Structure 1
Amino acid sequence: MKPIPALALLLCLATLAGCDAGRSAPTAQMQATPSDGARQHQDTLIRVPEGSPLRQALIVAAVAPQPFAPTLEAPGTIEAAPERLVKIVPPLAGRIVRLHHQLGDAVKAGDPLVTLDSPDLGAAYRDDAKAQAALLQARQDFERQQTLNQADIAAAKDLQAARQTLTAAESDARAARERLAQLGAPVDAASRREYVLRAPIAGRVVDMSGALGGYWNDTTASLMTVADISTVWLAASVHEKDIAALSVGQAVHIALDAYPGRQFEGKARYIGDLVDTDTRTVHVRVAIDNRERLFKPGMYAHATLEGPSQPALLIPATAVLQSGLATRVFVEQAPFQYESRLVVLGRSTDDKVEVVSGLKAGERIVVQGGVLLND
């Protein structure tokens, strides 16, 4: 075996030394303590050294319980109050011979709305007249049989038959008279064919389906609708998970797309007893004064419901830092020494958020500039 020349041996040793240096360099870099001059890491703390410009940018404040009235956002629609919206359905078929009011007219309770020429009304009057005549005849026959029976001229069975006939006639007469009363037709009306539909409540004519001269034969469809919308309802849909925060009487702020920039106030009057199984929401009804007629049934609205005030740890939204799925704040442990801590947040209001866990009252946190400390 030939000896290795000295020059070749030196070259091999130099190459090996270079490889060892390359492998040890990353290790030395990983073990170095990070420091950029403006901040320094010390165990779990971040320290801002003296002279660092960060000292002027960081604002620290103590965390303290504050009154907190949580709010709920819910979509809704404007509806007419059910007891103040009446669909006028004629109980009789007939031809429209007069429209006393037009669409949009204001009416009072009892005002005439539509006059129908109705053969059915004439038939009801004829039935009443026949029933009354039959009753008169049955009463006279019974009185005559009573007189004959007392004189021992007529048999007892004839008196009994007359009594039964009278009872039947009284029943028929009563039914015919009740039919007229149900229709609202006076017994002594001058016209026995003209039927007048009257307004059951005060309000406005908001819908009309019939026309002058037309024949109305559907006694299940509304000919006209009268509504009083001086007070309307906001029906807000609140999610099932927020039901516990609802209460009758709580304040509600209302915004409408029709009036941008304006806000209206109301109070929750009724919380639904049933949950919509399709949307998993419950309806909250809010009564709204609508004497200015700004609210139109069918409008979309946005409701903000205020919950009862309660103490809570509130921090500025600027103090919260999002790091992936984690939410953190910087807690002061000593002057210009801060710990990054995980927190759990609750509801928010304006520019503040509620801290559910992770902080205690009295602790001081970075409320502004914390992003400069974040790695």
Structure 2
Amino acid sequence: MNFFKGLSRFSRFLVVALLVVGGAALLWSRGSIGFADGQSGRKELSASAADQSGPGKTPDEQSVDLSEKQASSLKIGPVDSREFAVLKTAVGTIDFNENMLVQVFSQYPGKILKAFYNLGDEVKRDDVLFTIDSPDLLQAESNLLASAGVLELQKRTLARVTMLLKAGGSAQKDVDQSTSDQQTAEGNFKAAKDAVRIFGKTDAEIDQILAERKVDSTLLVPSPISGRVVSRNAAPGFLTQPGSPPPPFQVADLSTMWMLANVIETDAPAYKLGQEVEVRVPAYPDATFKGHVTNVGSMIDPNSHRQLVRSEIDDPQHLLRSGMFASFLIRVGEPIRSLAVPANGVVREGDGTMTVWVTSDRRHFVKRTVKIGLQQDDWDQILDGLQPGETVVTDGAVFLSNVLLLGTAG
């Protein structure tokens, strides 16, 4: 203050002006330094990002460096080749083997008297499923008794005229006529027996009818095959007509079943008769059913553009049920050998591309886009992007992708 008091007014003004100018210069100098520091920081960040991607590298070749401890958590191995089976898969449904499914009708119309088996029962061949009261059988048995009576009468007549001829009391023409009548009666009798036999009557039963001179209109309807009753529409009092639905019984041999699948049109040429089939159903996830292709459709559905493929499936334990949802797998060609990487070594990116991580020193890892083909037994077939012998991450590739993503975001 004493210094300012000793100065004139002009000198004081000059000193203040010099102080103001000096302060402004100092502030400008500091601001320039800070601006330079900010530019420098941004340049370092840019340089770090450039190092992350690598100079001259595309986004598909981004890289990550790991410490020895981090790298030890990964599984790394060489790219090798392995065989991939050429497979086709499809879904479909289980159905009865119609070659072993029988609709059991009576041969003649009539009223059902009794049904002996229920739905789900096991039956043997020739077991009687139901009986009917058949007017046709009644008529056939009546004709049999009548023809038997006529034959007996003609036999007696022939014997009598023969004796008269010997005694001179009859002419030869009477004997000849009686012989002709007897032969006609024998033919009618045989035809009547055959008519009754068509209804399923045995010779012993026919002899019983003739001996007792009694007709029985009860017709037995047996099962033509051994199997299981899968449908029953028979009940006492119902009228049944041959071939008129619904059938009184349906019996199926369940040792084999059908699988019906509609395969896509582009896969149709791969399916051939006799190809081995492996079938799975959700009801038995741990079971595999074996079979083979028995029919390949001769046309493509114009609406769905699919082709029917039918397979016959062995089912000795009778586990499959008609209507079950099922999937099948068919080997349609010889196995092919190709480069492969474990499924845990392949990462599906957000844009749908598939990538792997390649390394040469087990510390520096480069992301590379690959094209995959078949996927079997936790292995991915590599069609393009890798060479034999290259070292890749076989387990833990997702970790590297996350490290790269976090580094880029930071």
For the criterion TM > 0.5, the same-fold answer is yes
Unpaired segments of 5 or more residues in structure 1?
Answer: 130-172
Partner of 2:277: 252
Partner of 2:91: 75
Measure how far apart 1:77 and its partner are.
2.7
Measure how far apart 1:278 and its partner are.
5.1
Structure 1 residue identity aligned to 2:90: A
Residue 300 in structure 1 maps to residue 316 in structure 2 = no
Spell out the pairing of 1:101-180 with structure 2 (5 A cutoff): 101-103=117-119, 104-108=121-125, 110-119=126-135
Partner of 1:353: 380
Change (3 A) 1:310 1:331: same
SS in 2 for 1:83: helix
SS in 2 for 1:309: strand
TM score, norm. by length of structure 1: 0.68
Give the whole-Å Cα distance in 1 for the aligned partners of 2:258 and 2:278.
Answer: 13
Measure how far apart 1:100 and its partner are.
5.1
SS in 2 for 1:10: helix
- Asked which structure has the greater CA Rg, the reply is 2
Residue 369 in structure 1 maps to residue 396 in structure 2 = yes
Q: Which has the higher helix share?
A: 2
Partner of 1:17: 32
Give the whole-Å Cα distance in 1 for the aligned partners of 2:360 and 2:268.
Answer: 40
| Contact 2:82 2:337 survives alignment (8 Å) | yes
Q: String of CA shifts for 1:250-276, please: whole Å, max 9, x gaps.
A: 44333333334x323313222522444
SS in 1 for 2:234: coil
Identity score, percent: 26
Give the whole-Å Cα distance in 2 for the aligned partners of 1:126 and 1:276.
Answer: 56
TM score, norm. by length of structure 2: 0.63
Give the whole-Å Cα distance in 2 for the aligned partners of 1:25 and 1:237.
Answer: 67
Q: String of CA shifts for 1:282-319, please: whole Å, max 9, x gaps.
A: 44433333332222333333433345422122110111
Give the whole-Å Cα distance in 1 for the aligned partners of 2:253 and 2:349.
Answer: 56
| Contact 2:368 2:385 survives alignment (8 Å) | yes
- Please say which of residues 286-295 and 274-283 is displaced more in the overlay: 274-283
Measure how far apart 1:32 and its partner are.
1.7
Change (3 A) 1:328 1:121: same
Structure 1 residue identity aligned to 2:280: A
- Please say which of residues 294-303 and 18-27 is displaced more in the overlay: 18-27
Residue 264 in structure 1 maps to residue 288 in structure 2 = yes
Residue 59 in structure 1 maps to residue 75 in structure 2 = yes
Give the whole-Å Cα distance in 2 for the aligned partners of 1:88 and 1:281.
Answer: 34
Change (3 A) 1:61 1:245: farther
Partner of 1:318: 344
SS in 2 for 1:201: coil
Unpaired segments of 5 or more residues in structure 2?
Answer: 1-16, 146-187, 210-214, 405-410
Aligned length in residues: 321
Aligned-residue RMSD, C-alpha: 4.2
Change (3 A) 1:277 1:266: farther
Aligned residue among 228, 239, 261 for 1:204: 228
Give the whole-Å Cα distance in 1 for the aligned partners of 2:389 and 2:43.
Answer: 42
